[in-house]
Amino acid sequence: MPPLTSFSARQSEQVACARAVEHSHSPVPLIPGIDFAGVVETSSHPAFAPGDRVVANGWGLSHTHHGGLAQKARVSGDWLIKLPDVFSTRDAMAIGTAGYTAMLAVLALEHAGLTPDKRARCW
């Protein structure tokens, strides 16, 4: 499923790997970019159709598969998430993998019962 990538974020680990490829665990050469957002061009996955706006992060992008700094990406449809209408592809990459990870942490804290009126117990 090749979505046309619109935006990707550059992470410091990728810059370090680009500067010192011999220290990278990636097979080379790989295109960097641990995430991307774009528009599906073609799809054989039942959840996606041409024109769908999607985002992907993780899944080995830039480590075992070409990353989001490529002009196009061919990835498993299972790796993609449809973007809600309120987010542009640019918005999605402004949030990026770091923002997504931070939100997962907030959701985990809420799931554990932490609310704004409670203080976290650190021990």
Entry pTM: 0.67
| pLDDT digit string, tens, across residues 100-114 | 888 889 999 889 888
The two structure tokens encoding residue 90: 């640019």
Residue 120 has a pLDDT of 64
Yes or no: domain 3-111 corresponds to CATH 3.40.47.10: no
Sequence ranges of the domains in the chain: 3-111
For residue 35, count other CB atoms closer than 10 A to its CB: 27
Tallying the residues shown for the chain, one arrives at 123
Asked if residues 55 and 81 have their Cβ atoms less than 8 Å apart, the reply is yes
Residue 4 has a pLDDT of 56
Q: Cα–Cα distance between 19 and 98 in angstroms, integer?
A: 22
Q: Averaged in consecutive runs of 10 residues, what is the pLDDT profile of the chain (123 residues)?
A: 56 49 62 90 93 90 86 90 91 84 88 80 63
Residue 86 has a pLDDT of 92
Question: How many CA atoms lie within 13 Å of 107's alpha carbon, on the beta-carbon side?
Answer: 6
